[in-house]
Amino acid sequence: MRTLVDDLMITPDMGTAAMTLIERLRDATGAEAVALVSVDHARLRCRLDAIWPDEVAGGPANEIPLKTEPLPYLLQQPGPVVLASGEAGIPWLAKPRPGIITLSAPLRRRESVTGLLVLHLGENADLELCERTLATAANVGALGLDAVRRDDREEFLAMVRHDIYNPMTVAIFHTEMLGETLEARDDRELADLTQSVLSCLNAVCDLVSNFFYLEAIDEGAPAIHPESIDLTELALEIADAHRAMARARDLTLDCEGSCPPLMADRRQLSRVIANLVGNALKYTPGPGAVRVRVDANDEHVILTVQDTGAGMTPENLLRLFEKHARFHQHMGVPGTGLGLYLSKAIVEAHGGTIEATSEPGKGSTFTVRLPRA
């Protein structure tokens, strides 16, 4: 167990790292079977990452619903737990024969359960020693696997930056030039279509940018680079960029109000406003309306984005700002569920708050309060 993290961090991929972990655990405990399961909270699925011996043949698919018993019970435990004799084991491991002990421990990273280690132990196994070993393996394994995931993620992000982000910026630049040319020719119809294409390109570019930015958010509060900005001007600029999308969806988009200059990070607040306006347009069937308003009181500058869209239930409001939370998927709106999560982190890094009120079928109102000082 002492060198487990080093062993994991030099593995070339997640599959090798997962097998390394369960092989080290097998050797340390003498287990008759070992399995490593990972948790995808966004999709509510559990995935078998590694198993020894290979008992999954003829069993369930590698991915199964998170609610499959006894996975919810095991994932909620604070540490190693023994399944009582006769209880069902995890689906991928063969049913324990008489005398076999099933021992399980969750993997945790940053207050989140990321997976599960499960052992089948013979009746002569030193249970106390195996519990201590499993607890250590779960803690060390969570750290080591997270490091491997980060390496994989960095490789992926490098690919995205080169193969997607760079061409997108070129496409945006050329589309802007095309729009300016059509405006000069007074070709209103094609200019509007070009503006709609430009909005779509910016949305994809922002989506890619969110993935880059998520890494910094996950490490803690985002870095803020404040400057004096006119929030009214910024909100109007973003609203103007979304007008073609509003017209295409038969929606009115109004931006009004005023406030004093604000010390804030212009680029990051642009993310917040663009996300709120974009969401309001995407989740509001036409004909309808989206209203952006900027205001101020003695302590705060206040931005509200109100729509007449689908609205949300009280239960959905409780999960609204969670990572990967998505709603109204029947509407076919694409997305990753990161926008509001990132927006909340940005607003709170400014010392502000973001909240929402909503009613199903009657729309939603998002309110951002930022301190004037």
Domains in the chain and their CATH numbers? 4-151 (3.30.450.40), 217-371 (3.30.565.10)
Catalogue the long-range contacts made by 153-158 (C-beta closer than 8 Å, 24 or more residues apart): 153/215, 157/211, 157/212, 157/215
What is the pLDDT at residue 7?
66
Q: What is the Cα–Cα distance from 115 to 92, expressed in whole angstroms?
A: 14
What is the pLDDT at residue 289?
96
- Count of alpha carbons within 13 Å of 224, Cβ hemisphere only? 17
What is the pLDDT at residue 367?
97
What is the pLDDT at residue 340?
86
User: Rounded to whole angstroms, what are the CA distances from 167 to 98, 171, 214?
Assistant: 61, 6, 21
Per-residue pLDDT 10s for the chain (373 aa) are: 556 666 665 666 778 888 888 888 998 899 988 999 988 877 788 888 889 887 644 455 678 888 888 888 888 888 898 886 656 677 788 777 777 888 899 998 766 788 899 999 888 888 888 998 888 888 888 877 776 666 555 555 555 555 666 677 778 878 888 988 998 999 988 988 888 788 778 767 766 666 666 655 555 556 678 899 999 999 998 998 888 788 878 999 999 999 999 999 888 898 899 889 988 998 898 899 999 999 999 999 999 999 999 888 888 888 888 876 666 555 545 555 677 888 898 899 899 999 999 998 889 999 999 998 7
Closest to 334 in 3D by CA, of 241, 199, 203 = 203
Phi, psi of 142, rounded to the nearest 5 degrees: -60, -40
Q: What is the Cα–Cα distance from 234 to 232, expressed in whole angstroms?
A: 5
Strand, helix or coil at 322? coil
CA 219 to chain centre: 14
Phi, psi of 132, rounded to the nearest 5 degrees: -65, -45
Identify the H or E element spanning 137.
helix 127-160
What is the pLDDT at residue 326?
61
Q: What is the Cα–Cα distance from 120 to 338, expressed in whole angstroms?
A: 39
Strand, helix or coil at 86? coil
Q: What is the Cα–Cα distance from 131 to 133, expressed in whole angstroms?
A: 5
If one counts every other C-beta atom within 10 angstroms of the C-beta of residue 71, the result is 20
Torsion angle (degrees, nearest 10) of CA 285, 336, 278, 229: 160
Phi, psi of 185, rounded to the nearest 5 degrees: -85, 0
Tracing tokens 């642009």 back to the chain, one arrives at 270
Strand, helix or coil at 248? helix
Q: What is the Cα–Cα distance from 169 to 117, expressed in whole angstroms?
A: 44
Q: How is residue 329 annotated by DSSP? A: G
Beta bridge partner(s), residue 45: 40, 65
What is the pLDDT at residue 87?
60
What is the pLDDT at residue 219?
54
Burial pattern 189-208, b for ≥16 Cβ within 10 A else e, equals eebbbbbebbbebbbebbbe
What is the pLDDT at residue 290?
96
Tracing tokens 């209203």 back to the chain, one arrives at 291
Tokens of 280: 């309001």
Beta bridge partner(s), residue 103: 82, 119
Catalogue the long-range contacts made by 170-176 (C-beta closer than 8 Å, 24 or more residues apart): 171/201, 172/198, 172/201, 172/202, 172/205, 175/201
